[in-house]
Structure 1
Amino acid sequence: MTPSNVDPQELAKFSDLAHRWWDADSEFKPLHMINPLRLEWIDRLATLAGKRVLDVGCGGGLLAEAMSRRAVEVLGIDLASKPLKVAMLHAMEAGADRVSYREVAAEALAAEAPASFDVVTCMEMLEHVPQPAAVVQACADLVKPGGWVFFSTINRNAQAFLYAIVGAEHLLRLLPKGTHEYDRFIRPSELAQWCRAAGLALQETRGLEYNPLTQRYRLSGNTRVNYLVACQRAA
């Protein structure tokens, strides 16, 4: 993100919780729970083995480090310095030597190193920036021709408000109150339009559902709340 495409309050929100990022029973428990689902879905479509991967908005490194166990090289980028330091420390402690981190905006990296990655991921991040379409364009610019780009975000409708904010933040307390702002949620049609404008072809869309009774997540065809999108750049 460029300086105009960053919300300081959003950075502070996640920085304040940075020390709890790798605690699977903390406020980041949902990320720990969905991480295997995200990883397998990405790997099934893009085949991470031998690939150079970029994780945009990597936070504390949950997905980036997991992908580094399969890919040849992973770079995680973020503009929140505290989570990045947590990610670096955890990678060092875990001996994850194929993942590295940088505090740099996606747009800045795209200008510096266009078409440099086989796979680009941007998960649970678009709904936290003022100009998500600019991030989509940067991701498209960063991936090599024929490469894969993956996004995940939250739909904007009454059900998403009920589940992602009222349910997840207030009733079930899966997330800290104030984690999300409804006005920043993104309809699949909007994300699809941004992807097409950036030169990305949509290949697959999946929903991410949570069952409060079993306390488990699963991928499904229901994109009414959380959803994931897989795209490819033209070869």
Structure 2
Amino acid sequence: MNADPLELQKFADLAHRWWDPTSEFRPLHEINPLRLEWINARVPLAGKKVIDIGCGGGILSESMARKGANVTGIDLGEKALKVADLHSLESGVAVRYKLISAEAMAAEEAGQYDVVTCMEMLEHVPDPGAIVRAAATLVKPGGHVFFSTLNRNPKSYLFAILGAEYLLRMLPKGTHDYEKFITPSELSQYIRSAGLDVAGFKGMGYNPLTKFYSLNNDTSVNYLVAATRPL
């Protein structure tokens, strides 16, 4: 194996945080099957060339590769990418990971991907519109782009910040900044301005009693958006 065992061990010590479904990343593990199946129902992933922007430790990237996609995951978090690489080695699921920004990747590989995903990232960056433009550049004509983010309204503040971070402690305090949440109309404008067509919205809900997530038509807190690049 062409890897330094000491380096692998160093990042193995971090890996359990991303890939432990009971850790602070538990919500990502629990919503991942929902978002994966939603994407795969719209675009069967087998044989598709896919790029996952803001891939973190690779939870979505690996699951798309398991569906038969040829996946590239990009992120600016070096430690997260090391964890993703390590897990890919351990699981035997091949994913290409790259430490690069979406904008730089778009300059390098414009129009190369059948599917672009960008999940739970837009609300963490200073200029989400630039990420949407990069996604639009990366996807092939006729290809598909998927985003997920958090709506901005009193309900989303109550559920996503007060509820998830303070009351239920599902996420570390300070995970989200309410001012960076994005309304569906704002995201739609970013998408259209980037030359993409909005193809559909889906809401995601959490029941604190059953502790289960589900997809629905309520986009008031968490929501997903499908977009396409015209031929």
* Residue of 94, 111, 119 corresponding to 1:123: 119
1:19 deviates by: 4.8
Backbone CA RMSD of aligned residues: 0.9
Which of 197, 204, 207 lines up with 1:201 in the alignment? 197
TM-score (normalizing by structure 2): 0.93
* 2:72 match: 75
**SS in structure 1 of the partner of residue 106 of structure 2:** helix
2:27 corresponding residue in structure 1: 30
- CA distance, structure 1, for counterparts of residue 68 and residue 39 of structure 2: 11
Distance 2:135 2:111 in 1: 9
Aligned counterparts, 1:53-64, within 5 A: 53-64=50-61
Say yes or no: does 1:112 pair with 2:108: yes
- Larger Rg belongs to: 2
Q: Look up the equivalent residue of 2:220 and give its one-letter code.
A: R
Q: Give the Å deviation of 1:164.
A: 0.1
Q: Residues of 1 paired with 2:15 and 2:141: CA distance?
A: 35
Equivalent of 1:84 in 81, 84, 102: 81
2:37 aligned partner: 40
Query: What TM-score do you get using the length of structure 1 for normalisation?
Result: 0.91
> How far is 1:49 from its partner?
1.1
1:225 equivalenced with 2:221 (yes/no) = yes
Counterpart in the other structure of 1:5: none
CA shift, 1:47, in A, is 1.1
SS in 2 for 1:21: helix
How far the C-alpha of 1:45 sits from its partner, in A, is: 0.4
Task: Supply the AA of the counterpart residue of 1:107.
Answer: E
Cα deviation for residue 70 of structure 1 reads 1.4
Opposite residue 81 of structure 2, the aligned amino acid is L
Query: Hey, what's the Cα distance between the residues in 2 that align with 1:51 and 1:155?
Result: 30
Query: C-alpha separation between the residues in 2 aligned to 1:37 and 1:190?
Result: 24
Tell me what 2:129 maps to.
133
Q: 1:66 aligns to what? A: 63
Is the 1:208–1:223 contact (alpha carbons within 8 Å) kept by the matching residues of 2?
yes
- What is the total number of aligned residue pairs between the two structures? 218
Contact 2:19 2:25 survives alignment (8 Å): yes
Shift in CA distance, 82/19, structure 1 to aligned 2, threshold 3 Å: farther
8 Å contact kept, 1:122–1:152: yes
